[in-house]
C-alpha cells in the first residue's frame, strides 16, 4: 500500500532527522525502539506480572485523564460542518469519555486530517533538517526544509526530556510513555485548529505514527509555519515602533482568547519563549498549557490571582465562577513580561501620556481587555496619522535646505540608538518636520535623508 509505505518512510525520516541533529537528545530510531519494547516484554519474569499489571493500570489511568482533557476540545459548536458527525457527538456525550476510544483515534490516527490541516506524513518525505530551534521537558522543535524547499517547524516528543524520563521511571513502558507524553502534542493540534487567529502560529499539518494502519503508535509530529524565536534582548534595542507592534499584536491575541470558540482561554505558561515572530508579526506558538476552564468559587476570597509581587481579588459571580479571571491573568502577565520592558522607553513625546495610562490601567488591572485593546488601537491611529506631532512648530524645518536626489553628507559614522541600522542613524518618521525635530535633538546630526522605505505602519 503506497500510503502505508510513505507513512513508514516519513516516520523513519523523523527519527533520522533528530538523531542526526542532536544525538544526545534522541538515541533510538524506530527500529531500535521496537527492539527495546520486545526485549522489555521478553525479559518480564512471572513474579513481576502483578507489579507490571499495576503499573500498566496506573499508566492507562493517566492516558485516560489526558483523553478526558482533549475530547471536549474535539466537539465542535453546533453548525460546524467540518467537525464530527452528529452520531459521533451523541455517542461522545452519552458515553463516559474514558471509554470513547473511537473519538480519541480520530485525532491520534489522523482520520480528521482533512478537516484539521493540509500536510500529513507524506509531506515529510525527503525533508532536510536545518537546526534545532528549542527543546524542553516535553517537546523538541526542529526546523526543516520540505522537499519543495518550504521551511517549516516540526514539534516532536523529546525522547530525553524530563517528562519522558519520569514516565519511564514510574511506569517502565516506553511505548505507553510515548503515548502519554504525545498527548500534549495532540492537545496542541486541536487547540491550534480551534483557536485560529493571525497572532497564533499556523498549523500546517501533523503526522501520527499509526496513520494508514502502519508505523509506530504514539509517535506524533506537529507541522507548523516557520517563525523566529522572540529575542527580548534584541527587541529591547529595537525602535519603539517595533516594540509597540509586539505589544499591539499581543493585546489583539488576548482579546481573541477572551472570547474564543472555547470560551475565555488563559495562557498558564505565559513567557516570551512561548512566542515567535513571522515577518515581524507576533505569534503564539505553544498552546499545550492553554486552559479554558473557569475557576469555581463560593466567595470572592476564592478568586485570588497571585503573582510574585502583587495579588488581586476578583468577584465571584452568581454562576459560582471567578468572573474574568482568565482574562485578567493574561492582561497582568502581558504587563509584567512585555509592556513593562517594551512600551514606555523612548515612546514619542506626543504619546507618552497615553502609554502611561496603559501602564497604569494594566498594572493595576483597572481595565478589561476590550478597554486595553481600544487604548492600543487609539495610539496606533494617532501614530499612523501623525496627529501626535501637531504640537511641533512648523518652523522646525526652516533651517534645512531641500536637495532632491542627494544623500546625506558629513560624518557617516554617526550612530544613534535605537536604530534600524547599526551602521548609521536610521529611524522611522512621519514627515520631514518630525525628521528635523529629531535631527535638532541630536548634537551630531546636521542633515537627514528621507527614503522611500516604509515600516509596518507606513512610516
- Residues assigned a catalytic role: 269
Q: Provide the angle, in degrees to the nearest 10, between the axes of the packed helices 49-74 and 174-194.
A: 10
Q: Phi-psi region for residue 173, left (φ > 0), alpha (ψ -120 to 50) or beta?
A: beta
Cis omega (within 30 of 0) for bond into 346 = no
Is residue 213 within a helix (H) or strand (E), and if so which, with residue range? none
d(CA 183, CA 189): 10
Q: Which of 284, 279, 292 is nearest to 253 (CA)?
A: 284
153 by DSSP, 3-state: which?
Answer: strand
- Is-contact 162 177, C-beta < 8 A? no
- Is-contact 205 188, C-beta < 8 A? no
- Is-contact 88 57, C-beta < 8 A? no
b (16+ CB within 10 A) / e for 127-165: bebbeebbbeebbbbbbbebeeeeebbbbbbbbebebbe
Task: Provide, for the chain, the percentages of residues in helix, strand and coil under a 3-state DSSP scheme, each rounded to the nearest 5.
Answer: 50, 15, 40
d(CA 304, CA 323): 11
Q: Provide the angle, in degrees to the nearest 10, between the axes of the packed helices 369-385 and 325-334.
A: 40
Q: Phi-psi region for residue 364, left (φ > 0), alpha (ψ -120 to 50) or beta?
A: alpha
How many other CB atoms are found less than 10 A from the CB of residue 407?
Answer: 9
Q: How far apart are the first and last CA of the chain?
A: 56
- Locus of grid cell 509581587: 309
Displacement of CA 336 from its chain's centroid (Å): 18
CA geometry: angle 101, 106, 110, nearest 5 deg: 135
71 by DSSP, 3-state: which?
Answer: helix
40 by DSSP, 3-state: which?
Answer: helix
The three cell numbers locating residue 58: 496506573
| DSSP E strand boundaries for 335-391 | none
The three cell numbers locating residue 353: 501620556
Amino acid at each position: 500500500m503506497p500510503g502505508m509505505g510513505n507513512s513508514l518512510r516519513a516516520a523513519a525520516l523523523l527519527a533520522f532527522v533528530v538523531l542526526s541533529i542532536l544525538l544526545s537528545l534522541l538515541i533510538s530510531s524506530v527500529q531500535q525502539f521496537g527492539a527495546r519494547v520486545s526485549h522489555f516484554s521478553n525479559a518480564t519474569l512471572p513474579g513481576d506480572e502483578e507489579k507490571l499489571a499495576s503499573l500498566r493500570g496506573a499508566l492507562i489511568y493517566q492516558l485516560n485523564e489526558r483523553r478526558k482533557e482533549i475530547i471536549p476540545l474535539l466537539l465542535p459548536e453546533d453548525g460546524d460542518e467540518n467537525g464530527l458527525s452528529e452520531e459521533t457527538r451523541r455517542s461522545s456525550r452519552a458515553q463516559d469519555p474514558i471509554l470513547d476510544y473511537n473519538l480519541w483515534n480520530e485525532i491520534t490516527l489522523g482520520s480528521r486530517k482533512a478537516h484539521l490541516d493540509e500536510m500529513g506524513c507524506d509531506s515529510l518525505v525527503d525533508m532536510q533538517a536545518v537546526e534545532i530551534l528549542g527543546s524542553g521537558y516535553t517537546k523538541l522543535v526542529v526546523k526543516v526544509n520540505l522537499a519543495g524547499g518550504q521551511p517549516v517547524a516540526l514539534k516532536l516528543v523529546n525522547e530525553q526530556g524530563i517528562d519522558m524520563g519520569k514516565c519511564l521511571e514510574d511506569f517502565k513502558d516506553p511505548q505507553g510513555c510515548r503515548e502519554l507524553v504525545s498527548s500534549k502534542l495532540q492537545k496542541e493540534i486541536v487547540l491550534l485548529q480551534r483557536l485560529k487567529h493571525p497572532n497564533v502560529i499556523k498549523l500546517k499539518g501533523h503526522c501520527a505514527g499509526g496513520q494508514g494502519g502502519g508505523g509506530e503508535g504514539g509517535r506524533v509530529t506537529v507541522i507548523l509555519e516557520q517563525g523566529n524565536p522572540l529575542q527580548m534582548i534584541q527587541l529591547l534595542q529595537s525602535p519603539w515602533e517595533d516594540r509597540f507592534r509586539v505589544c499591539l499584536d499581543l493585546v489583539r491575541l488576548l482579546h481573541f482568547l477572551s472570547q474564543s470558540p472555547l470560551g475565555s482561554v488563559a495562557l498558564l505558561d505565559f513567557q516570551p519563549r512561548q512566542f515567535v515572530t513571522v515577518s515581524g508579526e507576533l505569534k503564539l506558538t505553544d498552546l499545550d498549557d492553554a486552559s479554558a476552564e473557569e475557576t469555581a468559587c463560593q466567595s470572592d476570597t476564592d478568586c485570588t490571582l497571585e503573582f510574585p509581587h502583587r495579588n488581586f481579588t476578583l468577584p465571584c459571580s452568581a454562576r459560582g465562577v471567578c468572573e474574568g479571571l482568565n482574562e485578567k491573568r493574561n492582561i497582568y502577565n502581558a504587563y509584567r513580561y512585555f509592556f513593562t520592558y517594551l512600551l514606555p522607553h523612548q515612546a514619542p513625546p506626543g504619546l507618552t501620556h497615553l502609554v502611561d495610562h496603559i501602564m497604569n490601567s494594566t498594572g493595576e488591572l483597572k481595565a478589561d481587555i476590550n478597554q486595553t485593546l481600544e487604548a492600543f488601537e487609539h495610539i496606533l491611529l494617532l501614530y499612523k496619522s501623525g496627529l501626535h506631532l501637531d504640537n511641533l512648530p512648523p518652523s522646525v524645518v526652516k533651517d534645512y535646505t531641500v536637495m532632491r536626489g542627494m544623500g546625506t553628507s558629513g560624518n557617516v559614522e554617526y550612530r544613534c540608538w535605537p536604530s534600524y541600522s547599526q551602521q548609521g542613524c536610521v529611524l522611522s518618521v512621519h514627515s520631514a518636520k518630525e525628521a528635523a525635530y529629531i535631527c535638532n535633538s541630536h548634537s551630531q546630526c546636521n542633515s537627514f535623508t528621507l527614503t522611500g522605505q516604509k515600516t509596518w505602519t507606513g512610516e
